[in-house]
Amino acid sequence: MNKKNMFLLTEKGIVLPLVILMILVLIPVGMGLSNLTKIETVATVTAKSTTQAIQLADAGISRALAQITNDPGYTGFPTFSWACSLVSSSAALPVVLPPMDTLSSGQYSIGVSTPGTIPPGEIDVLPEGRYQISAIGLVPNMRKLREKRKIVVIARRIDISPFDFAVTAGDGGVDLSGGDCLIQGDVITSGTVTNPERVTGTVTEGDSSVDDFEPPEMPGAFDADLGVINLLGNTDLELSTGTYICSSISIAGNASITINGPVTIYCSGNIDAGGTGFVNLSQDATDLLLYGTGPVGSTITFDGTADLYAAVYAPDYDAILSGTSLADGSMNVHGFTSLGTANMDYDDDLAGAPGGILTTRILSWREDKI
């Protein structure tokens, strides 16, 4: 037998063992890849379900915030199905809830602890205006719940009218260090109050809610455009009942603006009420509403000799009260400064005026395990 035939004999039957060996090697590899695919699929589904559960819980928080704004006594509900008729359940809400197609079918439940109560698991009583909202999002998986997530927030319900305080000031604050002014009423500001002992009522500092007051706009309808008001000497401008607009106001010498009936003035520039100032014949602050529509940094100064009876709404203006005359009413401005001995007295008749802030704002947020 030649060498070639001997080689062929030695190779006979080798293919079958090689095939078996390859099968033995590839089977574990295939099983491993299959398991890895399953694990990745489960991880993907779990991650998606987790996101959906968080979105559902977040939808519950949004619903609760809207309900609390409308109803301070709202306490939530046990279960709400996203797949149910959303129109009948949310028609009364003043906000638009997330569209249905952004979330899978699922459920959320809401629990609300109201002011003056102790939330579950806590030891402190919720102060006035504070709520604890707990929302649980649940994503079903045919036979069992796949994922559930819980969001807990502390929220504050804000209901403030433009003239609910003697002085409402933005981050410009309230400075009472330049004179002997006494504010008889409450003060609220997102800034600070210098010499707060000169306020007879409550003093609230660092409250950012007042920054939500929007500056007024010039009205589309009015009785007269007074343009630039520049009064000198013994000049007197008498305004009877109506709405007026102007680009600036300057009163000096013995000049004055006499208010005879309910008057509303919108001014797009600076206001310097010196001289005799505004003479409100009724001595009723509700009869003179003064709106500043100018840009940030505009100023309004009251240093007339006549007592001022007015409600001032100018969130972008810095106001200065000087002289010795009395100011009766309310001021809503960016910053308030007193440089004289004039007292600022609040007029209770201004409380609850339209155009205020009504909302519920989240103060803190956390995700709890359940």
pLDDT given for residue 65 in this prediction: 93
Residue 97 confidence (pLDDT): 38
- Helix, strand, or coil here: 169? strand
Residue showing tokens 């603006």: 257
Write the CA distances from 133 to 61, 114, 197, integer angstroms.
7, 9, 37
Given a cut of 80, whether residue 9 has pLDDT beyond it is no
Q: Which of 1-5, 113-117, 184-188, 334-338 has the lowest mean pLDDT?
A: 1-5
Q: Which of 126, 159, 127 is nearest to 355 (CA)?
A: 159
Per-residue pLDDT at 121: 83
For the ranges 37-46, 63-72, 351-360, the lowest mean pLDDT is seen at 37-46
User: pLDDT band at residue 122, thresholds of 50, 70 and 90?
Assistant: confident
Mean pLDDT calculated for residue range 221-243? 96
Q: Read off φ and ψ for residue 17, nearest 5 degrees.
A: -60, -35
Percent of the chain whose predicted confidence (pLDDT) is above 90: 57
Between 54 and 194, name the one with better pLDDT: 194
Q: Which residue has the tokens 């305080």?
A: 165
Contact 212, 233 (CB under 8 A): no
* Tens digit of each residue's pLDDT (9 = 90 or more) over 129-171: 999 999 988 887 644 546 788 899 999 999 989 999 999 999 9
* Helix, coil or strand: residue 110: strand
Mean pLDDT over 287-316 rounds to 94
Average pLDDT over residues 226-252: 96
As a whole number of angstroms, the distance between CA 123 and CA 74 comes to 21
More confident residue, 242 or 148: 242
- Lowest pLDDT segment from 31-35, 83-87, 231-235, 314-318: 83-87
321-to-198, 275, 284, 332 alpha-carbon distances in Å: 14, 14, 19, 13
Confidence band, pLDDT 50/70/90 cuts, at residue 76: confident
- Look over the chain and give the mean of its residue pLDDT values, rounded to a whole number: 83
Residue 246 scores a pLDDT above 90: yes
> How does pLDDT run across 183-218, given as a tens digit for each residue?
999 999 999 999 999 999 999 999 999 999 999 999
Most confident among 45-59, 66-80, 99-113, 324-338 (mean pLDDT): 324-338
User: Alpha-carbon torsion 249, 352, 350, 238, what sign?
Assistant: positive
pLDDT at position 93 is 36
pLDDT mean over 222-240:
96
pLDDT over threshold 70, residue 10: no
Kindly state the percentage of the chain with pLDDT values over 70.
Answer: 78
pLDDT band at 1 (very low <50, low <70, confident <90, very high): low
pLDDT tier for residue 86 given thresholds of 50, 70 and 90: very low
Model pTM score: 0.73
DSSP letter at 72 equals T
